[in-house]
């Protein structure tokens, strides 16, 4: 058998059903990655067009929604959906109903951008972050907006944020989601607490691995208490690669966090990275390899994988589920095309401007 036929044969593992736990079973191992589309209506309410968009992709085993902002000062891009008002919940109900009608499952990604937020979008004067460390650059899609110096979160702020994540998880359940993925990756709020370059605190939330994981772990525990561990997942970026500078000490933070997460029995852990070929000296190689070596439960791999490469990685036990991003923008019928061995429509950036 030549190598191409062998790869095609191995792709059958992508279509296997898999149980995340005794509550949630997925019909295949293909996950729609969270994809920021900036297509909400007024007041950040999801639209019927968004419902149609997600519904067309329900043949994937699991859809992870684009990031849903847990409160107004979490917004860092224009027209990103919220999950903190009743109108937003009602809008999301249309999305989840469309996915469920077509036999799919969908998790809400709970999002606060931290120092990557911008006061242009909300009434507060300052953005909030673990420390007063400014992010360089400008807001995506709004290049005229420079990032500002954030306010270091107080202990009371952190207590409120934990409650806001908890409430957002409850809102997601009301909206009909099958679970939530807490966004702790990609240089956003929770990730900012986990890296030394963005967390320079010297209180109970910074200065040591034990302190740096305290807030993110409290968020995970609050969400689990509210909706159950079976419906709670987490995305992490142990390798600093976007809006963050790496620090060799970060390894100790993630070593400790992953050891603590083992006992939480999450629905899954999801790597946050755009290109999984990236290597990190302090992780000893690729972030996927680091996670698999330090976390024994369900992992979602991501990072510009083709279906063939992702299938082989699953066969090699590098991860358990494969998240696909841009190809699912270009191919709503991605799973059907893979099964029929049909060519995929190539992705192009112009596709970001339409919900197809």
User: Active-site positions?
Assistant: 188
Tokens of 337: 């095309």
CA 290 → CA 34, 274, 283, 321, distances in Å?
Answer: 22, 16, 6, 16
Do the beta carbons of residue 213 and residue 194 sit within 8 Å?
Answer: yes
d(CA 145, CA 119): 10
Kind plus residue range of the DSSP H or E element containing 222: helix 214-227
Q: DSSP letter for 186, please.
A: T
Tokens of 229: 């561990």
Tokens of 253: 């933070």
Tokens of 247: 């620090």
d(CA 31, CA 311): 12
Tokens of 242: 């976007």
d(CA 76, CA 242): 15
Do the beta carbons of residue 114 and residue 188 sit within 8 Å?
Answer: yes
């Amino acid at each position: 058998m030549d190598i191409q036929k062998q790869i095609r044969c191995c792709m059958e593992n992508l279509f296997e059903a898999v149980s995340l736990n005794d509550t949630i079973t997925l019909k295949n191992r293909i996950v729609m990655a969270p994809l920021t589309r900036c297509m909400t209506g007024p007041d950040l309410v999801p639209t019927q067009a968004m419902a149609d968009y997600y519904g067309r992709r329900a043949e994937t085993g699991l859809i992870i929604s684009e990031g849903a902002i847990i409160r107004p000062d979490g917004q860092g891009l224009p027209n990103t959906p919220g999950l903190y008002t009743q109108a937003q919940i009602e809008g999301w109900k249309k999305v989840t109903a469309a996915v469920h009608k077509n036999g799919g499952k969908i998790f809400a990604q709970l999002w606060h951008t931290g120092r990557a937020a911008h006061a242009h979008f909300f009434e507060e004067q300052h953005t909030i972050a673990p420390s007063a460390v400014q992010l360089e650059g400008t807001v995506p899609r709004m290049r005229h907006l420079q990032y500002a110096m954030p306010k270091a979160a107080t202990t009371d702020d952190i207590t409120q944020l934990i409650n806001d994540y908890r409430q957002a998880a409850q809102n997601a359940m009301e909206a009909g989601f099958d679970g939530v993925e807490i966004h702790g990756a990609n240089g956003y709020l929770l990730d900012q607490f986990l890296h030394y370059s963005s967390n320079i605190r010297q209180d109970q939330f910074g200065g040591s691995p034990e302190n740096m994981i305290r807030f993110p772990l409290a968020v995970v525990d609050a969400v689990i208490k509210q909706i159950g561990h079976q419906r709670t997942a987490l995305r992490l970026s142990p390798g600093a690669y976007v809006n963050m500078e790496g620090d060799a000490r970060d390894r100790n933070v993630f070593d400790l966090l992953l050891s603590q997460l083992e006992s939480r029995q999450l629905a899954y852990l999801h790597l946050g990275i755009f290109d999984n070929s990236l290597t990190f000296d302090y992780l000893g190689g690729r972030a996927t390899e680091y996670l698999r070596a330090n976390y024994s439960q369900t992992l979602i791999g991501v990072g510009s994988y083709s279906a063939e490469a992702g299938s082989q990685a699953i066969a090699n036990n590098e991860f358990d589920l494969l998240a696909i991003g841009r190809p699912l923008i270009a191919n709503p019928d991605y799973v059907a095309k893979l099964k029929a061995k049909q060519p995929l429509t190539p992705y192009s950036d112009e596709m970001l401007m339409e919900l197809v």
